Chains A and B, each alone.
Chain A
C-alpha cells in the first residue's frame, strides 16, 4: 500500500520526466541531456516506490538508515527546480546574444563603404 507521500512524489516525478521528454522533443535538450535527466528522475521514482532499496544502499554506503521523506522531497524538488532554472537562464542568454548579434549586423551598413578592400 502506497503512502500519500509516495503517491504525490511519484506524480511529481512523472511530471518532471514528462517535461524532460517535451524539452527533448522540442529540440532544446540534447540526447545525452535527455538520457541523463530521465535516468535521474526515474531512479528517484524507483527510490520512492521501493524505499527498502534506499535503505539497502544506505547500509552499503555506511549511512545506516534511509533518508527521511522530507529530505527526499526537498532534494528532488530542488533538483528539478535547478534543472528548470538552468534551461530557462540558458535560453535567455542565447536569446540576448542572438538579439545583440542581429542588431550588430543591422547597424554597420553605413560602415560597409569603409570595408577594407586590400
Chain B
C-alpha cells in the first residue's frame, strides 16, 4: 500500500523542514511513503526549506489559498496512483506520530475519509478557536448534512476511492467544509479519530480567525447559491 503525505504550505519556512522530517520512515502495512509539499506562492524560503529535507515540492507561482493547494495535492495523488492520502498542516500543529492512527480505518477498509479531530477529548485550545470551530461545525451540518466534531481540521486521510471521487471547487479556507459536501455527494464512509494538536504561539497565530470565519461563511453561502 502506497501512502502520500500532502502538505499545503504558505510562508512556513520556520516549520516546514521540521514537519517533513518528522514524518515516520516506516508504517506497518505501508510499502512506500512519499511526501509532497505544495508551496502556495510563498514569499519566504518555504520552497527551498522543503526541498532541502527531501520532499517533492510543487510550487504555485501565485498564492491561491488552502483550497487551491489541496486541489494540487489531490491531482498529484491521482497522478502518482497512491492508495492513501494524508494531509497535514505545515505549521507544526499536527503530530505526525498520529498518522498510523488516522490511516488505520482506511487500512482496514472501515472508512474512505478520516478526520483527525481535536475536540473529542478535553481541549486546551483557546476559547476563540473553540467557538469558531463549533460555529463551523454547525454551518457544515446545516449546509452539507454531515455531522462532525472538527470540520476545520487539516489532518485528514483519504482512501483511493475518495482520492478519485472528491471534486473540490473552493480556493480558500472554505474548502475544509467543502470536503464534507463531497463526502455526502459521493456517499463516502466517514470516521473521526482523536488527535492531540500541538498548540504553539506560531501555530495559533496561523490558525483561523474570527474575521476570516465570517468571510468563509459567506463564501460557503455564495457557493450554495452559485
Contacts and interface: CB of A to CB of B under 8 A. Distances in A.
Contacts of B26: 118
A105 B38 CA distance: 10
Nearest to A101: B72
Contact of B33 (A103, A104, A107, A117): A117
Interface centre among B41, B64, B71 (most CB of A within 10 A): B64
A33 B224 contact: yes
B68 A101 contact: yes
Contacts of B59: 104, 107-108
A100 interface: yes
Interface in B193-212: none
Contacts of A28: 226
B217 interface: no
A118 B25 contact: yes
A100 B62 contact: yes
B169 interface: yes
B225 A108 contact: no
Contacts of B58: 104-105, 107-108
Given A30-B226, A33-B226, A103-B61, A97 B68 contact: yes
Nearest to A115: B56
Contacts of B34: 115-117
A97 B64 contact: yes
B51 A111 contact: yes
Nearest to B76: A105
Nearest to A113: B56
Given A112-B56, A118-B33, A94 B20 contact: no
Contacts of A103: 61
Contacts of A104: 38, 58-61, 72
B25 A100 contact: no
Interface string B13-30: 000000010011110000
A65 interface: no
B95 interface: no
Interface stretch (A3-11, A44-52, A85-93): A85-93
Interface of A: 28-30, 32-33, 36-37, 86-87, 90, 93-94, 96-98, 100-101, 103-105, 107-108, 111-112, 114-118
Given A104-B60, A115-B54, A116-B54, 20 more contacts: A29-B226, A30-B225, A32-B224, A33-B224, A33-B225, A36-B225, A90-B226, A97-B68, A97-B171, A100-B61, A100-B62, A104-B61, A107-B59, A111-B56, A115-B34, A116-B34, A116-B35, A116-B55, A117-B34, A118-B24
12 contacts: A29-B226, A30-B224, A30-B226, A37-B225, A87-B226, A97-B67, A100-B64, A105-B58, A111-B56, A112-B56, A116-B23, A117-B32
